[in-house]
């Protein structure tokens, strides 16, 4: 993926959202803020604190997977679709530093009915790819009235 920096629009979400990844109402979460590029790619510049480390100076692998999952989820949500992760693959390419600027980018690759194939990448400040994820997200529909 090429880096996105221009013409980004904030991606809105519910004010009382308690999501671990993006919820402003979750004081223990990552509180990520996502932006939308003109081509539909979601972008999230962030600096993740050291409380999410595994090895000193680097993010825990589970947090890296969470960042990728959250970015893919927002790529689907940017289309007005609520979906949940069905399958997630993570390629840990290089250690992801804590307390330093990183950028996540995600986009939908293809759709088939309620299924959405998505990918996301974590980049460092020099646009090196640190981790890459692929996933399948399934649209969640409201429950039927009884």
Q: Which domains does the chain have, with CATH numbers?
A: 9-139 (3.10.129.10)
Question: What residues have CB less than 8 Å from 143, skipping those under 6 apart?
Answer: none
Q: Which two tokens stand for residue 6?
A: 């221009």
One pLDDT digit (tens) per residue for the chain, 146 residues:
455 556 788 887 665 678 888 888 888 989 899 999 999 999 999 999 999 999 999 999 999 999 999 999 999 999 999 999 999 999 999 999 999 999 999 999 999 999 999 999 999 999 999 999 999 999 998 788 87
List Cα–Cα distances, 139 to 38, 112, 142, in angstroms.
Answer: 23, 11, 10
Q: Supply the pLDDT for residue 145.
A: 81
Within the chain, strands assigned E span 9-10, 35-36, 42-47, 83-92, 101-112, 115-124, 129-139
Partner residues linked to 104 by β-bridges: 44, 122
Q: Which two tokens stand for residue 98?
A: 């804590």
Q: Supply the pLDDT for residue 1.
A: 44
Q: Supply the pLDDT for residue 13.
A: 66
């Amino acid at each position: 993926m090429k880096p996105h920096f221009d013409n980004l629009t904030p991606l809105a979400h519910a004010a009382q959202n308690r999501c671990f990844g993006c919820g402003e109402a979750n004081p223990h979460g990552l509180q990520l803020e996502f932006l939308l590029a003109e081509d539909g790619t979601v972008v999230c510049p962030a600096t993740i604190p050291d409380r999410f480390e595994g090895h000193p100076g680097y993010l825990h692998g589970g947090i890296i997977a969470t960042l990728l999952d959250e970015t893919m989820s927002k790529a689907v949500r940017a289309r007005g679709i609520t979906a949940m992760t069905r399958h997630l693959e993570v390629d840990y390419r290089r250690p992801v530093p804590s307390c330093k600027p990183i950028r996540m980018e995600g986009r939908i690759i293809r759709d088939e009915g309620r299924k959405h194939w998505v990918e996301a990448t974590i980049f460092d400040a020099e646009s090196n790819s640190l981790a890459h994820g692929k996933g399948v997200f399934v649209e969640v529909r409201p429950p039927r009235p009884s």
